C-alpha cells in the first residue's frame, strides 16, 4: 500500500508537470477508444435489430386450391408439433382476401372486380433460434416437395448475410481500434518516458538508497494507467454525448427498416470493459516505458 | 566488514581504473582512501555500492559477495549501506524531511517511525529547523548534512563517502568530518575517499593510498 500510494502521488505530480503532453496523450487514447466504442455501439444495435427480425421470422406455405380439409389439417398438426415452430395459422382464400382489403383499402375495387386470386395458405411463426440453427431452412425445403403445396416463402438469407456483415463490421472495427490503440500506447509510453527523464536524478538516487522495483517503476506504471484510464473515460463521455444528441434522428432512420423502439447505448459491462482496457493499455505502456530504469 | 581480493575494474582493452586491489577494512573501522585524481578512489566506492560491477577479483561486504548479486539482492544490499557524495545527490523537488525519510519509506517503515527517526537524525546533524526547506534553499554545508542524515537514517553498518567535503570550505569540512567521527564512534564502519591531506591529518585515522588504480600503501593514523 505504501508503494502504491507513493506511485500514485508521484504520477499525479508528474502529470501536472507534463501538462500539454499529458493532454495530447489522453486525446490520442480517447480517439482510439472512441473508434472502438463507436464500432461496438453500431454492431450491438445492429445485432439487436437482427435478433428482433429473426424473432419475427415467418414461413408461408401456399396450398393448392383443391386440397381437402383432412390433408390440410394433417399438415397443420404436423407443423404445430415441429420443434422449430412457435405457432401455426391457416389462412383460407376468403380470409386472405379480407386481409388484403384491410391492408390495402385503396385497392378494394381491384379486389372486388376479380375472382379471389389469393390461394389458401398456412402461416408458420418460428422460434427465435430456428433461423440461425438452419431448422427453418430444412423445414422449408421439405415442405416444397409436398404434393398439395404450391410454394413456400422463406426468404431469410438476407438475415444470415446481415449477420455476416455485422461480423465484418466488428472485425474491421476491432482491427482499426487495435491499430489506433497501439499508436496511442506509443504516445503514452513517450509521455511516460519524458516524465521519467525529468525525474532521472530522482530515480538514480532511489536506486542508490535501494528502493525496490515498485518504488522505481511504480510511478511510471501509475502514470500510464491514469493516462489510459482518463483517455478511455473521456472517449466514453464523448461517445455518450454524440449518441444522446443524435439518438432520435438515428432511431427514426433505422425504424424504416423494421420495428425499432429505440437505439441503446453500450451496456454497462461493455462500458466498463472499455475503461478497463484503457487502464490496462496505459499501464502496459508505462511498464514498457520504464524498462531499463530499474 | 570489507574484504577485496585482486579487485579490478577495466574499461576497454587494458584501461584499468582499479587493478589488483586487496584490502581489508575491519568492522567499526574508520578508513580514508586517498590519492590523486584518477587514482581509483571513486571507482572503488562505486564498486562497493554496486553502481558498477568489477571485471576482476572478489569483493565481500559484511559476508556478502558483491560479484554475484542479482538486481533484487543489490537493492536489498544498498539498503544496508549509507552513502554520501561530493554533489550531495538530493532530490531538488523534495523537502529536507522528505529527502531523508524516503530512505525509510522504501524499507516499509511505518509513518510514525519514519517521522520520529527522520526528526532525530536531522536534529543530530543540526537541521531540525530546516525540515520543510528544499535543497536549493540550503548552503553547501547544510546540503551535505542532509545527505549524511539520509545515509544514517536507516542505521547502516557501513557508510561510504566520496569526497564529502569537496565542495565545502575548510571550516565546514571539519564540521562534516566531526560528524563522520561521531558516526564511527557509535560502531559504524566508515570509508571516506578524499584527497584533502590536511583533513586526513586532522582526523588522524588509517589511510589507504591509491595511485593509477593500484594500492600504494596503507598506514595507520593516530586517533584524535
The predicted-structure confidence for A117-175, as pLDDT tens digits, reads as follows: 888 999 888 876 666 667 777 888 888 888 888 888 876 666 777 778 888 888 888 88
Residue B221 reports pLDDT greater than 60: no
Residue B38 backbone zone (phi > 0: left; psi -120 to 50: alpha; other: beta): left
Per-residue cell: B188:
559504524
The reported pTM is 0.68
Instruction: Write down the pLDDT at residue A121.
Output: 92
Pairwise CA distance, residues B63 & B84, whole Å: 22
Q: Could you say which of B74, B93, B108 has the minimum Cβ distance to residue A2?
A: B108
ipTM of the complex: 0.80
Q: Does B106 touch chain A (CB under 8 A)?
A: yes
Report the residue of chain B nearest A202, measured CA to CA.
B91
Q: Could you say which of A2, A201, A207 has the minimum Cβ distance to residue B91?
A: A201
**pLDDT tens digit string along B13-24?**
778 888 888 888
Strand-strand pairing, B56-61 and B64-65: antiparallel
Q: What contacts A210, CB < 8 A, 6 or more positions away? A: B74, B75, B76, B77, B78, B79, B80, B81, B106
Pairwise CA distance, residues B16 & A294, whole Å: 27
Determine whether the interchain pair B91/A205 forms a contact, defined as Cβ–Cβ distance below 8 Å: yes
Partnered with residue A45 across adjacent β-strands are none
**pLDDT tens digit string along B54-112?**
888 898 998 888 888 888 888 888 888 989 888 888 888 889 999 999 888 877 788 88
Determine whether the interchain pair A2/B90 forms a contact, defined as Cβ–Cβ distance below 8 Å: no
Alpha carbon distances (Å) from A142 to A63, A158, B33, B143: 14, 21, 100, 94
Instruction: Write down the pLDDT at residue B224.
Output: 43
Contact assessment for residue A48 and residue A264, using Cβ atoms and an 8 Å cutoff: yes
**B49, B84, B93: which to substitute to probe chain A, counting the most A Cβ within 10 Å?**
B93
Alpha carbon distances (Å) from B11 to B5, B53, B191: 19, 11, 24
Q: Could you say which of A2, A13, A208 has the minimum Cβ distance to residue B78?
A: A208
Residue A17 reports pLDDT greater than 70: yes
Q: What contacts B143, CB < 8 A, 6 or more positions away? A: B88, B90, B135
Contact assessment for residue B100 and residue B146, using Cβ atoms and an 8 Å cutoff: yes
* Across A22-32, average pLDDT: 87
Torsion of CA A33, A38, A40, A44, to 10 degrees: 160
Q: What contacts A232, CB < 8 A, 6 or more positions away? A: A29, A30, A33, A274, A275, A277, A278, A279
Instruction: Write down the pLDDT at residue A113.
Output: 64
Instruction: Write down the pLDDT at residue B196.
Output: 82
Q: What contacts B140, CB < 8 A, 6 or more positions away? A: B88, B167, B168, B172
* Across B26-50, average pLDDT: 88
Amino acid at each position: 500500500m505504501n508503494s502504491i500510494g507513493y506511485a500514485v502521488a508521484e504520477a499525479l505530480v508528474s502529470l501536472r508537470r507534463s501538462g500539454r503532453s499529458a493532454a495530447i496523450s489522453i486525446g490520442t487514447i480517447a480517439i482510439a477508444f472512441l473508434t472502438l466504442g463507436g464500432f461496438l455501439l453500431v454492431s450491438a444495435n445492429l445485432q439487436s435489430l437482427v435478433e428482433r427480425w429473426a424473432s419475427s421470422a415467418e414461413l408461408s406455405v401456399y396450398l393448392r386450391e383443391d386440397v381437402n380439409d383432412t390433408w390440410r389439417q394433417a399438415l397443420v398438426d404436423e407443423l404445430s408439433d415441429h420443434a422449430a415452430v412457435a405457432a401455426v395459422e391457416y389462412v383460407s382464400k376468403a380470409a386472405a382476401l379480407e386481409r388484403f382489403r384491410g391492408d390495402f383499402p385503396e385497392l378494394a375495387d381491384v379486389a372486388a372486380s376479380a375472382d379471389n386470386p389469393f390461394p389458401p395458405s398456412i402461416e408458420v411463426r418460428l422460434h427465435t433460434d430456428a433461423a440461425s440453427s438452419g431448422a427453418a431452412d430444412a423445414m422449408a425445403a421439405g415442405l416444397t416437395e409436398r404434393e398439395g403445396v404450391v410454394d413456400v416463402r422463406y426468404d431469410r438469407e438476407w438475415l444470415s448475410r446481415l449477420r455476416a456483415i455485422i461480423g465484418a463490421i466488428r472485425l474491421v472495427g476491432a482491427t482499426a481500434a487495435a491499430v489506433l490503440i497501439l499508436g496511442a500506447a506509443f504516445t503514452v509510453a513517450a509521455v511516460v518516458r519524458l516524465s521519467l527523464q525529468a525525474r532521472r536524478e530522482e530515480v538514480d538516487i532511489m536506486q542508490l538508497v535501494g528502493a525496490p522495483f515498485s518504488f522505481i517503476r511504480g510511478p511510471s506504471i501509475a502514470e500510464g494507467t491514469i493516462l489510459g484510464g482518463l483517455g478511455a473515460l473521456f472517449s466514453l463521455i464523448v461517445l455518450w454525448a454524440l449518441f444522446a444528441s443524435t439518438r432520435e434522428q438515428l432511431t427514426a432512420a433505422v425504424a424504416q427498416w423494421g420495428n425499432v423502439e429505440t437505439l441503446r447505448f453500450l451496456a454497462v459491462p461493455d462500458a466498463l470493459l472499455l475503461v478497463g482496457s484503457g487502464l490496462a493499455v496505459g499501464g502496459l505502456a508505462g511498464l514498457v516505458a520504464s524498462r531499463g530504469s530499474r | 566488514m570489507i574484504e577485496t581480493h585482486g579487485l579490478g575494474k577495466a574499461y576497454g582493452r587494458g584501461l584499468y581504473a582499479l587493478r589488483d586491489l586487496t584490502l581489508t577494512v575491519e568492522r567499526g573501522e574508520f578508513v580514508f582512501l586517498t590519492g590523486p585524481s584518477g587514482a581509483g578512489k571513486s571507482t572503488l566506492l562505486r564498486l562497493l555500492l554496486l553502481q558498477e560491477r568489477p571485471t576482476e577479483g572478489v569483493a565481500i561486504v559484511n559476508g556478502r559477495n558483491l560479484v554475484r548479486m542479482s538486481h533484487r539482492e543489490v537493492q536489498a544490499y544498498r539498503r544496508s549501506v549509507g552513502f554520501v557524495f561530493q554533489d550531495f545527490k538530493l532530490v531538488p523537488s523534495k523537502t529536507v524531511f522528505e529527502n531523508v525519510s524516503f530512505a525509510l519509506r522504501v524499507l516499509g517503515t511505518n509513518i510514525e517511525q519514519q517521522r520520529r527517526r527522520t526528526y532525530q537524525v536531522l536534529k543530530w546533524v543540526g537541521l531540525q529547523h530546516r525540515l520543510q526547506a528544499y535543497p536549493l534553499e540550503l548552503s553547501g554545508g547544510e546540503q551535505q548534512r542532509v545527505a549524511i542524515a539520509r545515509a544514517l537514517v536507516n542505521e547502516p553498518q557501513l557508510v561510504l563517502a566520496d569526497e564529502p567535503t569537496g565542495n565545502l570550505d575548510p571550516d565546514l569540512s571539519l564540521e562534516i568530518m566531526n560528524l563522520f567521527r561521531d558516526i564511527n564512534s557509535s560502531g559504524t564502519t566508515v570509508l571516506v575517499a578524499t584527497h584533502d591531506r590536511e583533513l586526513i591529518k586532522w582526523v588522524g585515522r588509517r589511510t589507504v593510498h591509491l595511485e593509477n588504480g593500484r594500492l600504494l600503501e596503507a598506514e595507520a593514523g593516530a586517533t584524535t
